[in-house]
Amino acid sequence: MAKHYQNIVIGGGHNGLVCAAYLARAGQSVLVVEAANEIGGAACTRELVPGAKVSSGAHLLHAMPADLISDLGLANHGLSFSAQSIKTVSLNADGPAIVFDGDTVKGEDVSAEDEAAYQRFNADMQRMAKALRPVFDKLAPEPSIETWAERLTLLGLGLRIRSLGRFHMRELLRIIGMNFYDLLDEYFENRQLKAAIAMDALLGAEWGARSMGSVLTYLYRLAGYQRSKGLGLALPAGGMGAVSQSIAAAAKAAGAEIRTSAKVKSILIENDKASGVELDDGEKIQAGRVISNADPKQTFLKLVNVDHLDTGFIRQIRNLRSRGRAAKLHLVLKAAPQFKGLQEADLGARMLIAPNMDDIELAFNPCKYGRYPEEPVFEITVPSASDGSLAANGQHVLSAIVQYVPYDDSAELDANRAAFLKTILQQLERYAPGIGKQISHAELLLPRDLENEFGITGGHWHHVELVFEAFLFNRPVPALARHSSPIEGLYMCGAGCHPGGNVMGIAGRNAANQVLKGGQ
Amino acid sequence: MKTNTNNNQRPLIERPIQETAFYPSYKHLIQNDNYEEWSGYTALASFACEGQEYFAVRNTCGVYDICPMIKYDISGPDAERFMNRLVTRDVSKMLPERVVYAVWCNDNGHVIEDGTVFRYSATDFRLCCAERQLEWLEDSSIGYDVSIADVTEEIAGLAVQGPVSCRILKKMGFTGVENLKPFQLATFPLHGYDVVISRTGFTGDLGYELWIDVKNASDLWESLFSAGKPHGILMMGSEALEMLRIEAGLMLVNAEFMSCFQTVRLNRDRTPFELGLDWLVDFNKGHFIGRRALLKVSMKGLSRKLVGIDIDWNKQADGALIYDSKDASKQIGEVTSALWSPILKQNIALAYLDAPYFDGGKEMWAEVYLHRECMWERKMYKCRVAQRPFYSPDRRRLTPPNDM
């Protein structure tokens, strides 16, 4: 007779693996089924050409809690870093770069006032992010006050915000729904400086600096830096795949089983209770619980037969915003690229191409109407600069997030991809003259390609847009916010749940806790 | 399209109101211009005298124009699965050419509406209801291979109700119509077109509903009324129907409950249990929309329920509040629809009662307001839970019906 598991986790992305690891450590039997032939989801390392590897999804670790890393003993399972707390450099095609290092900012065109303002800005934002951090770290609270536990949770949140003091509490309430453009205008003069800061609120999102709520996502990102406790922007040795591999190793060491190339066709439901999964090849695996790391749309519009769901719920799921706006560019370079105004020693830094906030906004506008931007904005890393294992023989690999790209599944996708790659390379050429000639291999993954590669609806790395209306108990929809679902025994553990995306692992950990509590 | 006008007056509100397919045939019978709007159509509250129209149904035959009833055709390989998830009862047990009364809910188990489900074949259904809800049906069809069409404007309907209704239909040439059992339907030929006849209605009497393509409306109406004339056939309006449906104990959307799509206030939504429709909820058929919420609700006791009551004396208890004692110390319910029943000579009403009063056996008083010679008087009358339907003659169920 086939083995009956207590838990099946659908999807071997980092949240699924974290969830499996915590469940296995609690003595539960767990099977992780991953559709791809490697675990990791969008936190993975892939060979581009022989001798050159790249983090083909996320390329920096900046939000994983330090206590999760230590708790799961990831260092003992092979996780190390080739660089930590790397600098951020905002490139300028026609002038000097701006370098962000910790809480200081330096640049030839950056005034002393702006330097001081950055310190002040940083202190203000860090203070507010700290007040909100427990919200981002913990299980989404219930929006009701029926039990004392619920009242205390909400009261606690209120007290933390109040503890900022009268001035900062008012300031937080003033800015939290605000757009970042206006807030940055309040602090700074230098346009390039403002754009560089704005990028942290906008990466991966379907909005520009002028969109409401962009301050919230900035605080969200800062909370991520805080919880990583000094890791800052970090490059895992061997690429992001090393993160997933180490979590998988921790999970296996605790007794979890992992199967790759096992694509789930449907979630089995018997007597209104999840009872296992059916794979593409027809194999059925029984389990007491099914925990989906797939995004909510995939889980409830594809894997669960609609016979088991209510119409209002389906409406909510369908209306979720999951239009990925970020593309991924991978280049194999024959030699180290030369970026204008960049110190050679800073090639391992994170580089930004976003001349000013209006350019970000102009790059954002076309994607709203299904068009590609003429001058996209970039986050660039050259991980091989600090990690020789990624590229052999003096080669380098460049990994860039390119915003803002429409979700394009048209028949012209291939032609559009080729044309957009040309646009991108032309733009890069202005910042790194000669880079075109150094390219031995180029790959551009549009949202549609990311969707295919990682199985994420819309290719959105947060699964569901991180917007004010999809935070806390509304993420992704109220019925799923605390990891359980309308179907008994079916849980959610992915980025679609509070507290959302980035390689973070908190959703996976919270889900495991809820499962163990038999949680509602 | 026409604007709603009274003959001698300018229209109060300019808005398009459509004439039903039968309107040109019966408009010469309209004597008192007692119009109302029903789903965008001109409808009649009464033609001449609502009492006479009421008695036509109880004694001869009354005809009600049901063209404005909202009709959705639901067809496709998954139609049965779709319908079974939509409504709370098990329609997979339905045979073709059958009709059932059904109720459907939102995710929270709150009633959207009640109506009738017609099954024509393994893959073809029709849903008849009072309110438009195409959006809900379409969103409910996601994942199903079904097509949903609003056929309200294409299908004309006439309710032919009363003791001689069967006889009139037979006289029209619908051979075998007498063999239709309650909630059964069949297709009959007439003058080269099809007439679908279902033994259904909203009057609690023997009766049929006739469904045809709108283009045949005048022919059907003329045939019906020429056959029915010697038998006292009469067009009727909604005021007579209201009396009939209360005697039959049938609830009406926007009278006994509001669709959960339209409620604004808390606690105005109703579950099927509160409406006394627990017999329509089948927890054993698998999942349906609202099942999980209703299962939770069913674990708890009901706090209120719609029941029939009988009130002392003969003063119609419209809108009456119901109390636990004559001095009205505690309100325990309220009347939703009330009628002095002409045929029963009984003062009846549909009412919500709190637990445990809806189980009956407790002292209850209805607070009735009477307008007498330009003064309001408040009266307290004793009342009690009564069996529904209040009026249910044997001919309603008999197949074939007595040939009157």
Q: What is the pLDDT of residues B167-185, one digit of tens each?
A: 999 999 999 999 999 999 9
Is A199 in the same domain as A248? no
Is A155 inside any structural domain?
A: yes
| Residue A312 forms contact with B (CB below 8 Å) | yes
Band of residue B3 on the pLDDT scale cut at 50, 70, 90: very low
CATH number at residue A269: 3.50.50.60
Pairing of strands A490-492, A284-292: parallel
Question: What's the pLDDT at B11?
Answer: 59
Interchain contact, B143 vs A311, CB within 8 Å: no
Q: Which residues of B touch A315 (CB under 8 A)?
A: 139
Is A223 in the same domain as A123? yes
Residue type, B227: A
Is A470 inside any structural domain?
A: yes
Q: How many Cβ atoms sit within 10 Å of the Cβ of residue A184?
A: 24
Share of chain B above pLDDT 90, in %: 94
* B5 three-state secondary structure: coil
Is A147 in the same domain as A218? yes
Question: What's the pLDDT at B4?
Answer: 47
Nearest C-alpha in B relative to A315: B139
Is A215 in the same domain as A249? no
Interchain contact, B107 vs A312, CB within 8 Å: yes
Pairing of strands B155-161, B147-150: unpaired
Is A372 inside any structural domain?
A: no
Burial (Cβ within 10 Å: 0-12, 13-18, ≥19) of residue A185: middle
Q: Write down which residue in A227, A254, A273 finishes a domain.
A: A227
Question: What's the pLDDT at B1?
Answer: 41
Is A289 inside any structural domain?
A: yes
Is A133 in the same domain as A276? no
| Residue A271 forms contact with B (CB below 8 Å) | no
Cβ proximity of A508 and A70 under 8 Å: no
Question: What's the pLDDT at B152?
Answer: 96
Interchain contact, A307 vs B136, CB within 8 Å: no
Angstroms from B245 CA to nearest CA on chain A: 32
How high is the ipTM of this complex? 0.91
Q: Write down which residue in A184, A200, A227 finishes a domain.
A: A227
Interchain contact, B143 vs A272, CB within 8 Å: no
Interchain contact, B287 vs A486, CB within 8 Å: no
Cα distance between the two ends of chain A: 32
Using one digit for the tens of pLDDT, what is the confidence trace for B329-363? 999 999 999 999 999 999 999 999 999 999 999 99
Band of residue B109 on the pLDDT scale cut at 50, 70, 90: very high
Band of residue B9 on the pLDDT scale cut at 50, 70, 90: low
Task: Look at chain A and report how many structural domains it folds into.
Answer: 2
Q: How many Cβ atoms sit within 10 Å of the Cβ of residue B301?
A: 9
Is A123 in the same domain as A220? yes
Residue type, A118: Y
* A13 three-state secondary structure: strand
Residue A90 gets which letter from DSSP? E
* Residue numbers in chain A where pLDDT is lower than 70: 1, 519-520
Is A436 inside any structural domain?
A: no
Is A401 inside any structural domain?
A: no
Is A216 in the same domain as A302? no
Is A268 inside any structural domain?
A: yes
Residue whose tokens read 């260092």: A75
Angstroms from B90 CA to nearest CA on chain A: 14
What token pair was written down for A331? Answer: 């280049």
Interchain contact, A307 vs B81, CB within 8 Å: yes
Which structural domain, as residue segments, surrounds residue A502?
Answer: 4-44+64-83+236-321+456-516
Is A205 inside any structural domain?
A: yes
Predicted confidence (pLDDT) at residue B211 exceeds the cutoff of 60: yes
Cβ proximity of B230 and B213 under 8 Å: no
Q: Which residues of A touch B81 (CB under 8 A)?
A: 307
Pairing of strands A257-259, A30-33: parallel
Predicted confidence (pLDDT) at residue B376 exceeds the cutoff of 70: yes
Is A129 in the same domain as A150? yes
Cα distance between the two ends of chain B: 41
Is A122 in the same domain as A222? yes
Domains of chain B: 2-69+153-247 (3.30.1360.120), 70-150 (3.30.70.1400), 303-386 (2.40.30.110)
Predicted confidence (pLDDT) at residue B163 exceeds the cutoff of 90: yes
Is A255 in the same domain as A283? yes
Is A250 in the same domain as A184? no
Interchain contact, B107 vs A311, CB within 8 Å: yes
Is A223 in the same domain as A121? yes
What token pair was written down for B330? Answer: 């505690």
Angstroms from B284 CA to nearest CA on chain A: 9
A310: nearest CB among B144, B286, B290: B290
Question: Measuring CA to CA, how many Å separate A12 from each of A9, A21, A248, A501?
Answer: 8, 11, 8, 15
Q: Write down which residue in A227, A261, A279 finishes a domain.
A: A227
Nearest C-alpha in B relative to A271: B286
